[in-house]
Amino acid sequence: MSDAPEGDARERLKAALWFAIGKMVDEESLRRNRNATPQFIGALTEMVWSQIENVAIDLESFSQHAGRTTVTTDDVLLLARRNSDLYGMIKDFVDRQNAAKAKTGTKGKGKGKATRQR
């Protein structure tokens, strides 16, 4: 059974997501003096998991369409294009990272657009 290791990894990831979401919900519940049921946390986890799966499929499709096997920041920006606030935050982050790399002269891994220094 080749699906067993993949299924185990999937379940571990989902459990980690459940834990992280539960922790955030607990913190927010305490801050707001509210209660959240385990069913709410479970439903929220399922919704977030479904969204993560959709995002992963879209990112993979964008990179394949561009003829790449690796997802890049361009794919993430393309995914965020319909949410202008999210797009702006991601674009600002990417621009700051690129500026920091240019300043230190480090290059990223992979087959990205490399610039030559002469």
Q: What is the pLDDT of residues 3-22, one digit of tens each?
A: 788 889 999 999 999 999 99
Residue 101 has pLDDT above 60, yes or no: yes
Percent of the chain exceeding pLDDT 70 equals 86
Residue 111 has pLDDT above 70, yes or no: no
CA angle 36, 37, 43 (to 5 degrees): 100
Cα–Cα distance for residue pair 44/41, rounded to 1 Å: 5
Mean pLDDT of the region 55-65: 97
pLDDT at 5: 83
Total-model pTM: 0.73
Cα–Cα distance for residue pair 37/52, rounded to 1 Å: 23
pLDDT at 117: 41
